[in-house]
């Protein structure tokens, strides 16, 4: 009896291995509209234009069912959602909802195609069709809506217990784990230029029971342009790249990278693939004809290779907030001390203004030409007579007369500054150039002035 049981187990195991190692033909790639998993009945649905196929995941038998489609319905742009063994098709742009009833796809909603939730996240929670975010009319949504099957309309879910909410996103990723929905890697609209969008690297969690948002931190942006649809793998999202695989487990803040397994490099990126009962189920092209799509299963070891690395997916914002607060406090203290020191120095120095100069609590006004000369003198070590002459000269006067105007302007500046600060000596001095004795240069005592760092370096 024991021997018979062992033989029976061996036969069943052999049959299972032979079954799962084979592939089955599904259909032409250009005719497949979408796929969906019915985990309760171990079945995968493959939708075509006017029929669908059911793949039994235990036997790999395929049933084909003819359907009648509403003339206004198109599988393209309709996301299949299974709720309590009923298939709904949600328009990816707005509020339109169809339902598969007795092999007929009929529209059931009292809404309209408002195009305000383009590329939103669509999923099922608490036996309700839920969607988050979405783009429309130069803005992005930052809230959840659900389809009320009694009213046949969409209602909003308000985060009434939240103190903060995320910025609106679309075309991003999400992960549902019991009552927690994780939103990340979406795109947002620039607040000041509504035609510009950018990758939003913030990671948020929403708890449906508590009705609260929690900001978790920031992550590296995942480029989805060359990736297929993520696979829900246990509590993670599994991403398939050209050079390997990675899993994102936000609940445990883990990002694990793997090598490819035996079959993972060959999956079709444009179709959805699934993980159920410790096995992967996926679609791939025929080697002989790249329009023929086949379906098969693989164990975890066959699909996922060796681990390459394990790291955190997002940066802990609590630590950063504390560190940032400390750094900000230290920087503020330093700036405050620097400001106080500068103010102290200003009290002992001449401060140049736009229309004059201030020394301690006294002010003296200068005309525009005098201010240009002063700015020129404090910005250079030495200024040639020609540069100052260019500021004061008048075209109707002779060179000799313009020279006298220059000397008078410099004398006027010297007198006003000596009166302001109580000095007896001129602070604007002149000497002949050491390079060319024919050139007279003017310079000022910069130590008397409060100068910017840029001016002091000159």
Using 50, 70 and 90 to split pLDDT, how confident is the model at 181?
Answer: very high
How far apart are the C-alpha atoms of 127 and 125, rounded to whole Å?
Answer: 5
- Residue 267 backbone dihedrals phi, psi, to 5 degrees: -75, 155
Q: What is the pLDDT of residue 9?
A: 45
Q: What is the pLDDT of residue 314?
A: 96
Listed range (21-30, 238-247, 306-315) with the worst mean pLDDT = 21-30
The average pLDDT across 196-210 equals 96
Token look-up 């793997």 returns 258
Q: Identify the H or E element spanning 177.
A: strand 173-177
Q: What is the pLDDT of residue 162?
A: 94
Confidence check: pLDDT of 13 > 70: no
How far apart are the C-alpha atoms of 394 and 143, rounded to whole Å?
Answer: 70
Give the angle subtended at the CA of 189 by the CAs of 188 and 192, to the nearest 5°. Answer: 140
**DSSP 8-state assignment for residue 92:** S
Using 50, 70 and 90 to split pLDDT, how confident is the model at 217?
Answer: very high
The average pLDDT across 232-256 equals 95
**DSSP 8-state assignment for residue 220:** P
Give me the residue spans of the domains in the chain.
313-338, 349-457
For residue 399, what are its two tokens? 């060179």
385-392 vs 399-421: helix crossing angle, rounded to 10: 100
For residue 294, what are its two tokens? 């086949």
Residue range 298-332, pLDDT digits in tens: 999 999 999 999 999 999 856 555 555 555 666 76
Using 50, 70 and 90 to split pLDDT, how confident is the model at 345?
Answer: low
Q: What is the pLDDT of residue 298?
A: 97
Q: Which residue has the higher pLDDT, 374 or 61?
A: 61
Cβ atoms 300, 278 nearer than 8 A: yes
Q: Is the dihedral of CA 233, 128, 96, 115 positive or negative?
A: negative
- 232 three-class SS: strand
Point out which residues pair with 135 in neighbouring strands: 118, 140
Cβ atoms 109, 133 nearer than 8 A: no
For residue 361, what are its two tokens? 């609590």
Q: What is the pLDDT of residue 425?
A: 84
Residue range 153-180, pLDDT digits in tens: 999 999 999 999 999 999 999 999 999 9
Confidence check: pLDDT of 28 > 90: yes
Residue range 386-427, pLDDT digits in tens: 889 999 899 888 988 988 998 898 999 888 888 888 888 888
Using 50, 70 and 90 to split pLDDT, how confident is the model at 20?
Answer: very low
Q: What is the pLDDT of residue 227?
A: 84
Q: What is the pLDDT of residue 110?
A: 95
How far apart are the C-alpha atoms of 418 and 87, rounded to whole Å?
Answer: 92
Using 50, 70 and 90 to split pLDDT, how confident is the model at 274?
Answer: very high
Confidence check: pLDDT of 30 > 80: yes
Q: What is the pLDDT of residue 436?
A: 79
Write down the H helix ranges in 81-228.
none
Say yes or no: domain 349-457 is CATH 3.90.550.
no
Distance of CA 306 to the CA centre of its chain: 30
How far apart are the C-alpha atoms of 49 and 32, rounded to whole Å?
Answer: 8
Confidence check: pLDDT of 94 > 80: yes
Cβ atoms 427, 412 nearer than 8 A: no
What is the pairing mode between strands 180-184 and 173-177?
antiparallel
Q: What is the 3-state secondary structure (H, E, C) of 243-310?
A: CCEEEEECCCCEEEEEEECCCHHHCCCCCCCEEECCEEEEEEECCCCCCEEEEEEEEHHHHEEEEEEE
Confidence check: pLDDT of 1 > 70: no
Tell me the pTM. 0.66
Using 50, 70 and 90 to split pLDDT, how confident is the model at 8?
Answer: very low
Contacts of 314 (CB under 8 A, 6+ apart): 184, 203, 216, 217, 218, 219, 250, 253
Q: Which residue has the higher pLDDT, 35 or 418?
A: 35
How far apart are the C-alpha atoms of 412 and 424, rounded to whole Å?
Answer: 14
In the chain, the percentage of residues whose pLDDT exceeds 70 is 87
For residue 254, what are its two tokens? 């883990």
Q: What is the pLDDT of residue 326?
A: 58
Confidence check: pLDDT of 2 > 60: no
Using 50, 70 and 90 to split pLDDT, how confident is the model at 16?
Answer: very low
């Amino acid at each position: 009896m024991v021997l018979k049981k062992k033989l029976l187990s061996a036969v069943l195991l052999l049959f299972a291995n032979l079954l799962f190692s084979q592939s089955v033909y599904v259909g032409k790639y250009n005719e497949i509209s979408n796929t969906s998993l019915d985990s309760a009945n171990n079945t995968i649905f493959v939708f075509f234009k006017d029929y669908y196929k059911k793949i039994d995941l235990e036997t790999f038998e395929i049933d084909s069912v003819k359907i009648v489609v509403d003339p206004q319905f198109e599988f393209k742009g309709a996301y299949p959602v299974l709720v309590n063994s009923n298939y709904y098709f949600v328009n990816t742009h707005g509020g339109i909802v169809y339902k598969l009833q007795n092999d007929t796809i009929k529209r059931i909603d009292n809404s309209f195609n408002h195009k305000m939730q383009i590329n939103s996240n669509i999923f099922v929670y608490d036996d309700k069709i839920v969607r988050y975010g979405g783009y429309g009319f130069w803005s992005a949504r930052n809230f959840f809506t659900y389809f009320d099957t009694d009213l046949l309309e969409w209602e909003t879910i308000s985060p009434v217990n939240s103190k903060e909410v995320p910025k609106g996103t679309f075309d991003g990723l999400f992960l549902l784990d019991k009552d927690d929905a994780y939103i990340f890697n979406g795109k947002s609209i620039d607040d000041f230029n509504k035609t510009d969008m950018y990758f939003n690297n913030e990671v948020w969690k929403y708890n449906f029971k508590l009705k609260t948002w929690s900001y978790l931190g920031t992550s590296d942006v995942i480029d989805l342009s060359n990736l297929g649809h993520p696979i829900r793998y246990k509590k993670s999202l599994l991403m398939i790249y050209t050079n390997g695989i990675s899993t994102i487990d936000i609940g445990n803040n883990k990002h694990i990278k793997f090598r490819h397994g035996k079959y993972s490099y060959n999956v079709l990126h444009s179709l959805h693939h699934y993980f159920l009962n410790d096995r992967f189920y996926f679609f791939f092209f025929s080697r002989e004809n790249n329009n023929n799509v086949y379906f098969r299963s693989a164990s975890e070891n066959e699909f996922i290779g060796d681990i390459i690395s394990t790291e955190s997916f997002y940066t802990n914002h609590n630590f950063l907030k504390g560190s940032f607060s400390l750094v900000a406090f230290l920087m503020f203290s330093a700036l405050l001390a620097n400001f106080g020191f500068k103010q102290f120095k200003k009290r002992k120095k001449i401060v140049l203004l736009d229309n004059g100069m201030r020394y301690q609590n006294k002010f003296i006004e200068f005309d525009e030409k005098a201010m240009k000369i002063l700015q020129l003198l404090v910005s250079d070590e030495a200024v040639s007579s020609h540069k100052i002459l260019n500021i004061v000269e008048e075209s109707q006067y002779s060179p000799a007369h313009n020279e006298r105007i220059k000397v008078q302007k410099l004398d006027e500046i010297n007198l006003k500054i000596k009166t302001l600060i109580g000095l007896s000596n001129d602070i604007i001095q002149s000497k002949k150039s050491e390079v060319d004795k024919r050139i007279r240069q003017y310079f000022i005592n910069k130590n008397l002035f409060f100068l910017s760092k840029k001016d002091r370096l000159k």
